[in-house]
Amino acid sequence: MLIYEQSRSGRRATAQAPLTRAAVCAIPDRFRRKKAAALPEVSELQTVRHYTRLSQKNFSIDTQFYPLGSCTMKYNPRGAHAFASLPEFLGRHPLAPESGSQGFLACLYDLQQMLKQITGMQAVSLTPSAGAQGEFAGVAMIRAYHEANNDDARQEILVPDAAHGTNPASAVMCGYKVREIATGPDGDMDIDALKAALGPQTAGIMLTNPSTVGVFEQKIRKIADLTHKAGGLLYYDGANLNAILGKVRPGDMGFDVIHINLHKTFATPHGGGGPGSGPVGVSKRLEPFLPIPLVGKDESSYRWLNEEERPLSIGRMSAFAGNAGILLRAYIYAMMLGREGIVRVADYATLNANYMLKRLQEAGFEAAYPERRASHEFIITLKKQAKAHGISTMDIAKRLLDYGVHAPTTYFPLLVPECLLIEPTETETRQELDRFIEAMIAIRNEVEHTPDLVKDAPHTLPVKRLDDVRAARELDLRWQPEE
């Protein structure tokens, strides 16, 4: 039932608003609203009960194993939430003077420094609000760099065919054309295809490493050299940074610009779709173009670096300084990990992924890249099951929900048929991983003996399989009172 359907005209949650209506209003009638907005009229208890019950219809990290590949659904430490929510931090106005903001600015400055170390880049800007905005900022810096060199012929960005959809979309938002590069049979980039694509029109290439197929791109130095020789720059999509934290750094691989998904690698919550945070790091040659504001330090005091100090900046991505509260959470998390904890993240994320891959292979599931080590994630393909029993990967994903596990990422990357991209993260116990494997084995039995059970899944959730086609055809995007 919608909150609107619990509404009764004249009902109020009175304690939350000012107790009286201000008597004086100097706004002339021609500016005034004629009819009150159709918001629900409900009590505080109704509101609390309604949204508490809705929350119970969600899967979440706090309640379920959530091995969603490429999304790094690790535990979100409560301490990070608690300390970022201290009243002084919550109450600080974004335009408060620097003199009264030294504590806050110190946290941001320290986070910039740590992210530089972790990524091997020369400078970091924390301001992009999510990964895709970080990608935009990164590609915009590549563009600004070529423009500063009067190199206007570079109008093309290369992306692997297995790239996240945000990569080509971000390149287009920066006014570039996009050209796809094929992935070879071992999961690494097809170097001949790359050579054929590079040229004086190449502005840069966007890569994820480990790649979106869950393996470390071994020829990365070769790719970097070829691209740089052709005059292009390398962009690192940080979606998979969790796999290599403290092991190998994008700066050392030859990347010129990178974004980091703090809501993945640095354990900040996903909030049912956001907020995220997508800081960007750059090599020396791109530093002048970083988005503002940055945090600078003079002797012992911190200050914002704005247009005056950064005249070549690509500009501002948001009204203030991005998702500041998320930056504080990431800072707190990184400080709790420390230098040794940071490496352990990659260690145990990789251990968990390889353990799951091995056990699933032993149980007869087919790995997409059986000769390769898994990174922090891996792909299995269910094409055999699909062919033999007319079952789709989506059916199996939906059935997994009945077993109390969130489904892995389905049908991505598109080049592997009927695939599941599985990322357990380092914060899951072996017992949780075993339960997932047992569920997969049980579902495979169901596929063979009671396929309808799988095709009709889920059975135990608040709703049965939803009609997506109808949702798109008969658009119903808001509640309206009955006529």
Partner 1 sequence: MPFIPHTEEETQQMLETIGVSDIEALFDEIPPALRCGLLKEIPEGLSEMEIGQLMAARAKQDGQATCFIGAGAYDHHIPAAVWQIAGRGEFYTAYTPYQAEASQGTLQLLYEFQSMMTALTGMDISNASLYDGASALAEAVLMAVRANRQSKSRRILLPRSLHPTYRKVVKALVGNQGLELIELPFNPESGRTDLSALEPFTGEDIAALVIPQPNFFGVLEEVDQLTNWAHENKALAVGVVNPVACSILTPPGEWGEKGADICCGDGQPLGAPLSSGGPYFGFLCCRDKLVRQMPGRIIGRTVDKEGETGYTLTLQAREQHIRRSKATSNICTNQGLMAAVATIHMALLGAEGLERVALACHANTQQLSEKLAAIKGVEKVFSGETFHETVLKLPASSKAVLRALANHQLLGGNDLSDDYPELGNALLVCATEKRTDAEIERYASKLARILSGADDVLCQLHPKD
Site for partner 1 in 101-160 (CB under 8 A): 101-104, 106-107, 113-114, 117-118, 120, 129-133, 135-136, 140, 143
Residue with Cβ nearer partner 1 (88 or 387): 88
Spell 40-56 as b/e; 16+ CB within 10 A means b: bbbeeebeeebeeeeee
Residue with Cβ nearer partner 1 (173 or 386): 173
Cβ at position 192, least distance to partner 1 in Å: 20
Burial of 379: CB neighbours in 10 Å, binned 0-12, 13-18, 19+: buried
Told to check if 390 binds partner 1 by CB under 8 A, we report no
Binding flags for partner 1, 253-292, as an x/- string (CB under 8 A): x---------x---x-xxxxxxxx--------------x-
Cβ at position 132, least distance to partner 1 in Å: 5
What CA dihedral angle connects 132, 138, 142 and 147, to 10 degrees? 90
Cβ at position 174, least distance to partner 1 in Å: 5
Residue type, 115: L
The sign of the torsion formed by the CA atoms of 178, 183, 188, 192 equals negative
Binding flags for partner 1, 17-56, as an x/- string (CB under 8 A): xx-xxxxxxxxx-xxxxx-xxxxxxx-x--xx-xxx-xxx
Residue with Cβ nearer partner 1 (228 or 464): 464
Judged by CB under 8 A, the residue of 154, 249, 259, 310 near partner 1 is 249
CA 277 and chain centroid, separation? 8
Judged by CB under 8 A, the residue of 301, 318, 445, 450 near partner 1 is 318
CA 292 and chain centroid, separation? 21
DSSP annotation of 65 reads B
Told to check if 452 binds partner 1 by CB under 8 A, we report no
Cβ at position 176, least distance to partner 1 in Å: 8
User: Which region, judged by CB under 8 A, interacts with partner 1, from 13-21, 200-208, 226-234, 445-453?
Assistant: 13-21
Burial of 462: CB neighbours in 10 Å, binned 0-12, 13-18, 19+: exposed
User: Which region, judged by CB under 8 A, interacts with partner 1, from 198-206, 344-352, 385-393, 415-423?
Assistant: 344-352
Cβ at position 153, least distance to partner 1 in Å: 16
Judged by CB under 8 A, the residue of 122, 191, 348, 386 near partner 1 is 348
Told to check if 69 binds partner 1 by CB under 8 A, we report no
Ordered strands of the 123-125 beta sheet: 123-125, 280-282, 257-260, 233-238, 202-207, 156-160, 177-181
Told to check if 312 binds partner 1 by CB under 8 A, we report no
Cα–Cα distance for residue pair 395/451, rounded to 1 Å: 10
Residue with Cβ nearer partner 1 (97 or 298): 97
Residue with Cβ nearer partner 1 (35 or 449): 35
Judged by CB under 8 A, the residue of 94, 184, 200, 390 near partner 1 is 94
User: What Cα–Cα distance (Å) separates residue 374 from each residue in 193, 246, 262, 358?
Assistant: 24, 17, 22, 9
Residue with Cβ nearer partner 1 (86 or 196): 86
Cβ at position 443, least distance to partner 1 in Å: 15
Cβ at position 384, least distance to partner 1 in Å: 23
Judged by CB under 8 A, the residue of 61, 124, 360, 440 near partner 1 is 61
Cβ at position 291, least distance to partner 1 in Å: 7
Question: Contact, 157 vs 176, CB < 8 A?
Answer: yes
Residue type, 397: A
Please name which of 295, 320, 271 lies closest in space to residue 96, comparing C-alpha atoms.
320
Cα–Cα distance for residue pair 138/141, rounded to 1 Å: 5
Cα–Cα distance for residue pair 246/280, rounded to 1 Å: 18
Query: Within 161-200, which residues bind partner 1 (CB under 8 A)?
Result: 164-166, 168-175, 178
Question: Could you tell me how many residues of this chain bind partner 1 (CB under 8 A)?
Answer: 201
Cβ at position 150, least distance to partner 1 in Å: 17
Binding flags for partner 1, 398-437, as an x/- string (CB under 8 A): x--x----xx-x--x-------------xxxxx-------
Told to check if 482 binds partner 1 by CB under 8 A, we report no
Backbone φ and ψ of 146, nearest 5°: -65, -40
Whether the upstream peptide bond of residue 40 has omega within 30° of 0, thus cis, is no
Cβ at position 26, least distance to partner 1 in Å: 6
Told to check if 367 binds partner 1 by CB under 8 A, we report no
Cβ at position 383, least distance to partner 1 in Å: 21
Cα–Cα distance for residue pair 263/54, rounded to 1 Å: 23
Backbone φ and ψ of 253, nearest 5°: -80, -15
For the chain, the distance separating the N- and C-terminal CA atoms, rounded to the nearest angstrom, is 19
Cβ at position 386, least distance to partner 1 in Å: 19
Token pair for 191 = 């170097």
